[in-house]
Homo-oligomer: A and B are copies of this chain.
Amino acid sequence: MEITLKAKIFDLEIGRYEATLNETDAKKLGVRPKDRIKLFSRGKSIVAVVNTTKTVIKAGEIGISADILKTMGVKESDDIIVAPTEKPKSVEYIRKKMQGVTLSEAEFESIVKDVVTGRLSEVEITAFVSAIYINGLNIDEAAYLSKKMAETGEILEIRKKPVFDKHSLGGVPGNKITLLVVPIVAAAGLAIPKTSSRAITSACGTADIMEVLAPVTFNASEIVEIVDRTNGIIAWGGGVNLAPADDIFIRVEYPLAIDPHYLALCSVMAKKYAVGADFVVIDLPMGSETKIPTMEDARKYARDFLELGERLDITVECAVTYGDKPIGRAVGPALEAKEGLKALEGEGPSSLIEKSTDIAGILLEAGGIATKGNGKQAAMEILKSGKALKKMKEIIEAQGGDPKVTSDYISVGRYKETIYSPMGGYVTHISNKAIVQVARAAGSPKSKGAGIHLYITKGTKVAKGEPLFDIYAESEWELEEASKLAKQLLPVRIEGMILKRFPEYTFIGER
């Protein structure tokens, strides 16, 4: 059975090959929603997932996405021959994973290829992600999946070996250490092709910050070229097609608000495999509001990362870091770029400098630049000597930014409100989540100048009426929204020295 239909552009940019048929034509072909049809035109053919409609697409027409039009080289109103066809084999493997069966390398390859080429429907992808969330993966499966996620995207061929990299698990606002780690490591002569993400639910991603200083969108050969020239780069991962299945999995994880442990591991390691990393340091921020609430969780992550690295021929070292408050004082793209640059210029908050040199030190030891136990000191020397700043400017220039930039030169949002302490006492808690919510309400990361600057850190003694933090925004209404939210959420908790005094005792700053 086959019929000929007229092409109509009908595109929700879903990144999948989906074709929409009028119900009459679907019945004629004997296909139901989510069945597969084969489309033939101009000597080419592709397989698409079926949608049906009574109204949007008329009988005799077929609604196809711009992706399909492009792949097949057809135009609107072209004749397309349509015939039913089988579901891809990968659907059977997804079902097996749901049934608790361990999958082979070939089966993961089939699934990931079909995910990336748009051959699977959202139902099928959700079932796969759900099965991994519920049934987990063993270490072989995690290695196969990571490898296939990498191999179905671009692979960087950095000429300088070995290749170093770092990754921070999320949950800590202000974690701008990449801005220090990359230039320190690159200044020491090691290759570090760092790709970073933009914020999805956080206040801002490293790519959002770096973009204040230079363009961050580069393809694979541009990244290789810049790293060959300067040893380092801070690029946006979305600009290069590294492990593209990851974004597709995230699209179904997001509505369910799940972050399957094994997919998180595979996502990180697939990207490290794709950049050709030989040695990776993983920053595991532990805190009540991060992905790693306890040392036991940290141990599990560390063990899994190390094992997975071994299977992928990547040496992994994990560092459990303090994650119960923001790193540094600044949150938001321009504010963080300013703070990061200032730290490279020689003046920065100790939490940022200590953590950055700790992480960079691990890489310097691994690269033979420092002996065991002396990496941090070596990193600190590179930072203090100004070599890291010089290297950062080289990298900024190589990425197309202005190498003459200084921290003073970076402008932040022109609307500002200061939040003051309602009482005297000590800062006992800074809520990562509340800080993120307020920064986002102020417009971060969309408005580069929006964000938060903290005057205090955990343990600081404050007097009544002393400033706790500034909120910056680029519009008056966003500043108002953010201030209102800050007064509701009270991200900074102040308590007197007497922590228990019944019955008058109240938690100030607690919701």
Q: Which residue of B lies closest to A53 (CB)?
A: B12
| Chain B residues near A407 (CB-CB < 8 A) | none
Binds B, one of A26-34, A263-271, A415-423: A26-34
Q: Could you mark each residue 87-128 of chain A with 1 if its beta carbon is under 8 Å from any beta carbon of chain B, else 0?
A: 100011011001110000000000000000000011110110
Q: Could you mark each residue 230-249 of chain A with 1 if its beta carbon is under 8 Å from any beta carbon of chain B, else 0?
A: 00000000000000000000
**Provided the pairs A53-B12, A134-B98 are in contact, do residues A91 and B255 lie with their beta carbons within 8 angstroms?**
yes
A251: CB under 8 A from chain B? yes
Cβ-defined contact, B130 with A98, below 8 A: yes
Q: Which residue of B lies closest to A252 (CB)?
A: B123
| Chain B residues near A13 (CB-CB < 8 A) | 52-55
A254: CB under 8 A from chain B? yes
Q: Which residue of B lies closest to A11 (CB)?
A: B55
A56: CB under 8 A from chain B? yes
Contact partner, A258, options B98, B134, B446, Cβ 8 Å? B98
A506 to chain B, nearest CB (A): 29
Q: Which residue of B lies closest to A66 (CB)?
A: B55
* Copies of this chain held together in the complex: 2
| Chain B residues near A123 (CB-CB < 8 A) | 122, 126, 252, 255-256
A315: CB under 8 A from chain B? no
Please measure, in the bound complex, the distance between the C-alpha atom of A122 and the C-alpha atom of B124, giving whole angstroms: 11
A257: CB under 8 A from chain B? yes
| Chain B residues near A322 (CB-CB < 8 A) | none
Cβ-defined contact, B95 with A258, below 8 A: yes
Please measure, in the bound complex, the distance between the C-alpha atom of A51 and the C-alpha atom of B10, giving whole angstroms: 14
Contact partner, A251, options B33, B54, B131, B252, Cβ 8 Å? B33
Contact partner, A34, options B1, B54, B133, B255, Cβ 8 Å? B255
Beyond A13-B55, A134-B134, list 14 extra A-B contacts (CB 8 Å).
A12-B56, A13-B52, A33-B251, A55-B66, A87-B257, A91-B257, A98-B133, A100-B134, A123-B252, A126-B127, A126-B130, A127-B256, A130-B130, A131-B134
23 contacts between A and B (CB under 8 A): A11-B55, A13-B54, A13-B55, A33-B251, A34-B251, A55-B66, A91-B257, A92-B257, A95-B256, A95-B257, A95-B258, A98-B134, A98-B258, A99-B134, A100-B134, A121-B255, A122-B122, A123-B256, A124-B255, A126-B127, A126-B130, A127-B256, A134-B134
Query: Which are the 7 A-B pairs with shortest beta-carbon distances?
Result: A34-B255, A130-B130, A126-B126, A134-B134, A123-B126, A12-B53, A127-B130
